[in-house]
Structure 1
Amino acid sequence: MKVTGDQALVKKINKSIILHMIRKHSPLSRARVSEMTGLNKATVSNLVAELCQQELVIEAGPGESSGGRKPLILHFNAMAGSVIGIELRVKQLTAVLCDLGGNVLGERDYTLNHHDLPYVLEEIHKIISELMASAPVTPYGIVGIGVGVPGMVDENGVVLFAPNLGWEMVNLRGMLESSFSVPVTIDNEANAGAQGELNFGAARDVRHLLYVSAGSGIGSGIIIGGELYKGARGYAGETGHMSIEADGRLCSCGSRGCWELYASEKTYDNADIDLPARTTPELVRYASQGQEDALRHFAKVGEYLGIGITNLINSFNPEVIVIGGALSEAEEWLGEPLRKVVAERTLPYHKQQLEITFSKLGSRGTVIGAGFSAVMHFLGNIRVTL
């Protein structure tokens, strides 16, 4: 198929390239932008002038010069607007207000008592309204809302199936856009977490990444060739529901022996723990005090995490694996048993130059990634595929 574009499209693409180059690598001079993009200086100068007029880029200076007039330095204007990123968990609703550079300006955290849609929607409305009221005055105001949910989401922002919430066919994007009149992006929470780590966390600019979100369930965000992989219909990454025990426990998805039954916070309900602890922060506190039940439980969860991660390594051959979600806060006790299992079971060539790390964003990875998706929607991340 022949792909063509008129002059206006070419200009739009070039403008997007320049904006994202400045966003990722500023401070930069115009000359340096020209070198890095391959665009001629006149094109860069004209498009930068438009971006400055739109208040997406600001000039500060002067920069260093080897002779002659010192150049003005270009910066991405992160405070041109703000976004809200939300993570919907089984027992918790977390949201952040971020600028366009991913810097957290405000945060809210609610406990969810049940999963009835009207109740959860009411809580989401509350948390969004609070953050909107606290947002600083910016040229563009609140430019978008991004939401990460523990389930399968289609390209229209419909939650097709979220077994841990008991949801099917919920048009979450439509409901929120109707209420707040700003663009809303909805994605699987692990995909959002992968975007957070790729752009702001432990895997910046990695080409082949697996992000494993371990919390109330398990999901994976898969980055292949620097792009988020969603599969043929957009549902890739439901790794928490791969079977690791052939005749294992019955899962809410309808299958048996699913990974998340053995390596997520679901284990707390069935664990042999002689403690009044049923959340990760509580168990972390007991583990930090040397309590044997907590230490033994985290060691077992770490082993099961290692089993599933081994399967993913042998399947995808990534450069980096990042473990995020609520259980990333237990790195001190999960890390060693996890890495031991991977070392013993992974194919030898797959282990070469492989890095396994825990999220540098902690439990914030998904909310920051969800906010980033809203930023990209606002900035118009144009891509042309031939």
Structure 2
Amino acid sequence: MRKRTGDLKLIKELNKTLILDKIRREGPISRAEIAKIMQISATTVTSAVSELIRDSYVYEDGRGTSIGGRRPILLKVNPNTFFLIGIAIDASKLTIAELNLNAQVKLKEVYPLEKNLYDSFSSFVIGVIGNFLERYPDLDYCLGISITTQGIVDSVNGIILYNPKLNIENLHLKSLVERQFNIKTYIDNDTNGDILAEKGFGFYQQSRNLIYVTIGDGVGAGILINDSVFRGFHGGAGEFGHTTIDYNGKPCSCGNKGCLENYVSWKAIHTKILTEINNGTSTVILEKTKGDLMKITPGIFRYALNEGDALSISILDEVAVYLATGLVNIVSLFNPEKIIIGGDLAFDNPYLIKKVNEHLLTHSLKTLTNGFEVVPTSFGSDYDVVGSGALLLHELFNFTLH
């Protein structure tokens, strides 16, 4: 049966993205090596590479070692010809950054989100993007805008379906941004972006089954199963923070009671810190903030932990038990190779990783934790915008198709 023209075009484009990803991962590499590794024809590789060089995604970088005959020409991805805009939105701030094709952050700005902005949220986002783009004289080199946010997101249609922290329902943000700037825009849940970033550019690229848990203003999970992101029926898979651990517990913003998020998020930790300080407990946090309780941030809390502050350690010990208890359920449900922990409370926080590992490995099924570990994010303080950028870079490189 003869293939339709559309089928052939799709196969050609898929081959090109896979070849581009191979060059990104293993360059400098020759055309012959690509054909051999990918088990495709030399003609297919040559054609795709010619287009990639023409479009400035790839360049020739000298010659390799000869194994008989002429020395092969080597190829590398050119990461800096094009750029993309990554935007990470949580309950308290909007972070916007320029990234290159290696997911490296070249420029970053952070804008606080005040409650009085919620009613005009889309206008605020568009204003920030517009101001950020003013510095670029030629937007033809901008591949797109990637936006991640908490809550339930329809990534196909670019709709924020439900974000209780920002009081958002059914916001068609993708179409609003594209209409304003005429730049292709991608939108997804923050942890889906985070798991794609780890798979494409992080330390755990060889793993095919990963869970990414973020801990900050909220708690969520990104799920990678057999190299595919699992989003669920309505795009709401991974709402780990809204799994209930106490039906008689504290009311949650989602309308339920006793959600895990109420015990391990920054809001829960911040409340505990203020309560203890008001009860007269001494802490490094007071010294660091010079007594100004308004200046207590996740960064200050992490600093206090690394200084061995007794109050901070006591609070985190309790948080780690709650978190690990939830993660035991994830291990039993998904049997991942690793659980990656990121977010404002988790990066640069080896004590958290250590305590969670201790509890989880003690209380999980031994057969499921053989070779398993909880690990920190690969991207430090840039985890959020690298996760945002990964939405677009995943489309460009198709890096989960291995």
- TM-score normalised by L of structure 1: 0.91
Shift of 1:376: 3.6
Counterparts of 1:44-55 in structure 2, within 5 Å, are: 44-55=45-56
- CA distance in 2: counterparts of 1:382 and 1:302, whole angstroms: 33
- CA distance in 2: counterparts of 1:95 and 1:301, whole angstroms: 30
- CA distance in 2: counterparts of 1:233 and 1:169, whole angstroms: 12
Q: Does 1:273 align with 2:273?
A: no
Could you tell me which residue of structure 2 aligns to residue 83 of structure 1? 84
Could you tell me which residue of structure 1 aligns to residue 227 of structure 2? 226
Q: Does 1:344 align with 2:362?
A: yes
Unaligned runs of 5+ in 1: none
Contact 1:97/1:131 (8 A) holds in 2? no
Could you tell me which residue of structure 2 aligns to residue 26 of structure 1? 27
- Aligned to 1:295, the other structure's residue is in SS state helix
Contact 1:84/1:96 (8 A) holds in 2? yes
Equivalent residue letter for 1:98: L
Equivalent residue letter for 1:324: G
Count of aligned residue pairs for this structure pair: 381
Counterparts of 1:74-223 in structure 2, within 5 Å, are: 74-114=75-115, 116-117=117-118, 119-135=120-136, 140-154=140-154, 155-223=156-224
Could you tell me which residue of structure 1 aligns to residue 310 of structure 2? 292
- CA distance in 2: counterparts of 1:336 and 1:245, whole angstroms: 25
- RMSD of the alignment, in Å? 2.4
Contact 1:146/1:186 (8 A) holds in 2? yes
Equivalent residue letter for 1:101: N
Shift of 1:45: 1.4
Shift of 1:352: 0.9
Contact 2:199/2:399 (8 A) holds in 1? no
Could you tell me which residue of structure 2 aligns to residue 248 of structure 1? 249
- Aligned to 1:233, the other structure's residue is in SS state coil
Equivalent residue letter for 1:150: Q
- CA distance in 2: counterparts of 1:372 and 1:383, whole angstroms: 11
- Aligned to 2:40, the other structure's residue is in SS state coil
- Aligned to 1:328, the other structure's residue is in SS state coil
Q: Which runs of 4+ in 1 moved over 6 A?
A: none
- CA distance in 2: counterparts of 1:381 and 1:21, whole angstroms: 10
Shift of 1:122: 4.3
Identity of aligned residues (%): 31
Contact 1:93/1:110 (8 A) holds in 2? yes
Shift of 1:263: 0.9
Q: Deviations over 1:122-171 (max 9, x none)?
A: 44334423442345868x41111111101100121111111121211111
Q: Deviations over 1:256-298 (max 9, x none)?
A: 1111111111213431331526421121233333332222112
- Aligned to 1:219, the other structure's residue is in SS state strand
Contact 1:317/1:350 (8 A) holds in 2? yes
- Aligned to 1:79, the other structure's residue is in SS state coil
Greater displacement, 282-291 / 212-221: 282-291
- CA distance in 2: counterparts of 1:383 and 1:24, whole angstroms: 12
Equivalent residue letter for 1:68: G
Greater displacement, 143-152 / 358-367: 358-367
Shift of 1:191: 0.8
Contact 2:197/2:386 (8 A) holds in 1? yes
Contact 2:18/2:397 (8 A) holds in 1? no
Equivalent residue letter for 2:79: A
Contact 2:105/2:382 (8 A) holds in 1? no
Shift of 1:381: 4.3
Q: Deviations over 1:303-334 (max 9, x none)?
A: 21111111111111000110001111352332
Residue 273 to residue 122, structure 1, CA distance change in 2 (3 Å) = farther
Q: Deviations over 1:212-258 (max 9, x none)?
A: 01110001000000111111232211111001123211111011111
Residue 63 to residue 130, structure 1, CA distance change in 2 (3 Å) = farther
Greater displacement, 194-203 / 350-359: 194-203
Unaligned runs of 5+ in 2: 278-285, 287-292
Equivalent residue letter for 2:172: N
Shift of 1:19: 2.0
Equivalent residue letter for 2:334: F
Q: Deviations over 1:145-204 (max 9, x none)?
A: 111101100121111111121211111112211222101111111111111112222322
Could you tell me which residue of structure 1 aligns to residue 290 of structure 2? none
Contact 1:158/1:171 (8 A) holds in 2? yes
- CA distance in 2: counterparts of 1:13 and 1:358, whole angstroms: 32
- CA distance in 2: counterparts of 1:82 and 1:55, whole angstroms: 12
- CA distance in 1: counterparts of 2:195 and 2:120, whole angstroms: 28
Q: Deviations over 1:72-108 (max 9, x none)?
A: 1111122231111111011111122001221211111
Residue 135 to residue 345, structure 1, CA distance change in 2 (3 Å) = farther
Shift of 1:60: 1.5
